Amino acid sequence: MKNTDVLIVGCGLCGSVIARHMAERGKKVVIWERRDHIGGNMYDYVDEHGFLVQKYGPHSFHARDKRLYEYMLKYEEWEHYELTCGAMWDGKYTPTPFNFTTIDTFYPPAEARKLKAKLAAAFAGRPTATVVEVLSHPDQDIRGYAEFLFRNDYAPYTAKQWGISPAEIDPSVLKRVPLRFSYGEGYFDDEYQVMPKHSYTRFFENLLDHPNIQVELGVEALERLTVREDKLYLDGAAVDIPVVYTGALDELFGGVYGRLPYRGLRFEWKYEERDSLQPAPVVAYPQEAGYTRITEYKKLPVQDKPGTSYAVEYPLPYEEGKAAEPYYPVLTEASQAQYAQYKALADRIPALVLCGRLADFKYYNMDQALERALDVMEQLA
């Protein structure tokens, strides 16, 4: 580690963005990444059937903030791409967020007409409302529509996602989930919605391509980095350079306050000799046992060739040391309080800089992770 000015743990979006920033300011940066590839959860690669697939689940970049979009433009070409998603139950397909097509699909024509008219009148001038609003509407038909969706989709899907029973799902978890009052489709409303022209991995290759950045793959940082009495040690010697840590905070502190809860995912990879498996790249299957959704990669981005590669997604509890990765922080009052204890330990170590969805114990989208990395860079400066 001689001649290193900054050590970064983790080669995902946060670690790589900070590395580039420091490198451009003349600092020698070393990144330790325990996986055998760069890019963190955004890593993609071409599979044996020639399809570009995403190892850790479907990602499409969306942002409202032009500054964040322009940052991404510096290291890859991007193409406009509006993600469409859907759900399938009782053998019927509907786009999500649910819209008027949903009503036409699941209601007899006369009832569908009546319901759409009622929704249009009740929410006049509004393209969407949250499921929670619709669930608490005084009109019984309107409320009944949201209850139907809750029973058939939201409750069973969310229950599988978090490993609890559908009866335990509180409708308040849907307070940010929209219902559309039109035939409009598209998953996000953000101004910038793009996919990389080549790949996310290409974006990372360009981002990390700087003479001051050295990436070491397959390195478990915690085998060399330890914490004792408010100090960081590297191979046993006290650390005197900044260490940007993007891994899980409970792991860094040996789980002294117990393990932070995460959900894991298992992907079952499949290939079929057919042109299309499902109507949208990402489709939820709320009634199927075990899995939540399927991503068909030839549609994300569009890859026009015969056959189709797809991944079936099974949520599972995350246990440290097992093959699974910590994907989603389980955010409860108790877990946030537990995280705050770890954060207080981290704040006592001046050399330690935290950044990223694991280190911050937050569910960041890519634009939010990028924004967080840009903020941390300002602090480092």
Ligand X SMILES: Cc1cc2nc3c(=O)[nH]c(=O)nc-3n(C[C@H](O)[C@H](O)[C@H](O)COP(=O)(O)OP(=O)(O)OC[C@H]3O[C@@H](n4cnc5c(N)ncnc54)[C@H](O)[C@@H]3O)c2cc1C
Residue 95 contacts ligand X per CB under 6 A: no
Residue 35 contacts ligand X per CB under 6 A: yes
Candidates 102-110, 137-145, 160-168, 363-371; binding stretch for ligand X (CB under 6 A): 363-371
Contact residue for ligand X among 6, 7, 8, 10 (CB under 6 A): 10
| Amino acid of residue 346 | A
Candidates 30-38, 101-109, 129-137, 154-162; binding stretch for ligand X (CB under 6 A): 30-38
Residue 55 contacts ligand X per CB under 6 A: no
Tokens 């920033």, residue? 21
Residue 264 contacts ligand X per CB under 6 A: no
Q: What angle do CA 246, 252, 257 make, to 5 degrees?
A: 125
All residues at 6 or more sequence positions from 48 whose CB lies less than 8 Å from its CB, including other chains: none
User: Nearer Cβ to ligand X, position 41 or 308?
Assistant: 41
Residue 315 contacts ligand X per CB under 6 A: no
Contact residue for ligand X among 215, 369, 376, 377 (CB under 6 A): 369
| Amino acid of residue 275 | D
- For 110, counting Cβ atoms within 10 Å of its Cβ (0-12 exposed, 13-18 middle, 19+ buried), the class is exposed
Residue 44 contacts ligand X per CB under 6 A: no
| Amino acid of residue 289 | A
Closest CA relative to residue 118, chosen from 97, 103, 106: 103
Residue 222 contacts ligand X per CB under 6 A: yes
DSSP per-residue codes, 269-336:
EEEESSS-SSSSSEEE-TTSSS--EEEETTBTTB--SSSEEEEEEEEEE--TTSS----EE---HHHH
State in angstroms the smallest separation of the CB of 360 from ligand X.
8
The answer to whether 226 and 232 are in contact (CB under 8 A) is yes
The answer to whether 198 and 76 are in contact (CB under 8 A) is yes
The answer to whether 243 and 351 are in contact (CB under 8 A) is yes
Contact residue for ligand X among 6, 7, 8, 11 (CB under 6 A): 11
Candidates 122-130, 139-147, 149-157, 219-227; binding stretch for ligand X (CB under 6 A): 219-227
Residue 97 contacts ligand X per CB under 6 A: no
Residue 15 contacts ligand X per CB under 6 A: yes
Report d(CA 223, CA 317) in Å as an integer: 25
| Amino acid of residue 39 | G
Residue 157 contacts ligand X per CB under 6 A: no
User: Nearer Cβ to ligand X, position 21 or 35?
Assistant: 35
Mark 332-371 as b/e (b = at least 16 C-beta within 10 Å): eeebeebbeebeebbeebeebbbbbbbbbbeebbbbbbbb
Give the 3-state secondary structure of residue 35.
Answer: coil
User: Nearer Cβ to ligand X, position 35 or 160?
Assistant: 35
Residue 122 contacts ligand X per CB under 6 A: no
Residue 12 contacts ligand X per CB under 6 A: yes
State in angstroms the smallest separation of the CB of 141 from ligand X.
34
User: Nearer Cβ to ligand X, position 69 or 98?
Assistant: 69
Report d(CA 144, CA 212) in Å as an integer: 60
Contact residue for ligand X among 95, 97, 196, 247 (CB under 6 A): 247
User: Nearer Cβ to ligand X, position 15 or 97?
Assistant: 15
Candidates 95-103, 144-152, 197-205, 354-362; binding stretch for ligand X (CB under 6 A): 354-362
State in angstroms the smallest separation of the CB of 363 from ligand X.
8
User: Nearer Cβ to ligand X, position 156 or 315?
Assistant: 315
Contact residue for ligand X among 116, 357, 361, 376 (CB under 6 A): 357
Residue 52 contacts ligand X per CB under 6 A: no
Contact set with ligand X (CB under 6 A):
9-15, 32-35, 40-42, 56-61, 220-222, 246-247, 327, 356-358, 364-367, 369
